[in-house]
Amino acid sequence: MKGIILAGGTATRLFPLTVTTSKQLLPVYDRQMIFYPLNNLIKAGIKNILIIVSPEHSGQFLNLLGSIFEKYGIYLEFKVQKVPKGLADAFVIGESFIDNNNVAMILGDNIFEDNFYEAVKNFKGGGKIFAKQVKDPKRFGMVEFDKDRKVVSIEEKPALPKSNYAVTGVYVYDNRVVDVAKSLKPSDRGEVEVTDINNWYLKQGELEVAKVEGEWLDAGTFDSLLEAGNIVKDKGLYKNFDPLIDKAIEEYNIELKRLAKKKLK
C-alpha cells in the first residue's frame, strides 16, 4: 500500500494566512497541520508516502519534512501540482509512484481521530471510502444507503441531499484508480471529481463504505481551523501520534535550535 497526501491548492478561504504559506503548514495546536494526515498513514502501516504540493510552497514542505523520517523507515516523495484540477488529479500525478500498488489518499487539511490500520491491512481490492454524519450535507459528497445499509449512490454537493452521510477525506483504492482518474472528464466545476471515481467502483460492485466513528475535522476555514485546534487540545488528540513522529519532530527541533545558536555566535 502506498500513501498520498494532497496538500496543494490555493486555500483562498484562508487568505491572508495562506498568502505566505500553505494551508497544510498552518498550526493545529502544537504542530503543523500536515503532521495529522501523515500520522494517519504512518499509523496505518504505510511507509512510502507521496505529498502533492503547490509550486509556491514546495520548498517549505521540503525544509520541514525532507528527511526527518528516513531513519525510521518512512520515505517521503514530493510532486508539484501546478494547477489544482480536482482531487482525482492526485492519482494522475502519482501514477508512477503508485505503480502496481494499492493506494490510500488522505486530504492534507483533514484531521481524523480514527485509526485506519485495520482498514488498510484488510484491504483486498476495489475501493473503500469512509463516511460520517454531518449537519450541512450540501457541502460534501453524500452517500445514499438503502434499507439494508447498502450504498445506492454518491452525489457531489447535492442540492437535495438523500442522506446526511458525507464522504470524508480518506480514500483507499486498488491500482486501477489511475486509469479511472485519467479517463475522467471535468465536472461543471472544471475539476476531475473523486466522486466520479467512487461511482465507477460502485458500478463495478466493488465499493465499500465504512463509518468514521471519531472526530473528523476539515480545517479549511478560519472557524474550522480554530475549532480543530481546540478539539485537538481538549480531547487530547495531540497525544495520539505515532511515537516515531513525536521523536522525529523532537530531533528536528533540537537541530533547529543548534543551528540557531550557531548563527548567533
CB 86 within 8 A of CB 12: no
Rounded-to-integer distance, Cα 141 and Cα 170, Å: 12
50-101 confidence digits (pLDDT tens): 999 999 999 999 999 988 999 999 999 999 999 989 999 999 999 999 999 9
Return the pLDDT at 31: 96
Query: How many H helices and E strands in the chain?
Result: 9, 13
pLDDT for 156 equals 87
Tens digit of each residue's pLDDT (9 = 90 or more) over 50-60: 999 999 999 99
Give the pLDDT confidence of 173-193 residue by residue, as tens digits: 999 999 999 999 999 888 999
User: What is the phi/psi pair of residue 258, to 5°?
Assistant: -65, -45
pLDDT tens digit sequence for 111-166? 999 999 999 999 999 999 999 999 888 888 899 988 888 899 999 888 899 999 99
Residue-wise pLDDT tens digits, 198-212: 999 999 999 999 999
Q: Which helix (H) or strand (E) holds 192?
A: none
Which residues is 133 bridged to in the sheet? 165
Domains of the chain with CATH codes: 2-127+168-264 (3.90.550.10)
Say what the pTM is.
0.94
**Dist CA 3 CA 42 (whole Å):** 9
Backbone angle region of 126, left / alpha / beta, with phi > 0 → left and psi within -120 to 50 → alpha: left
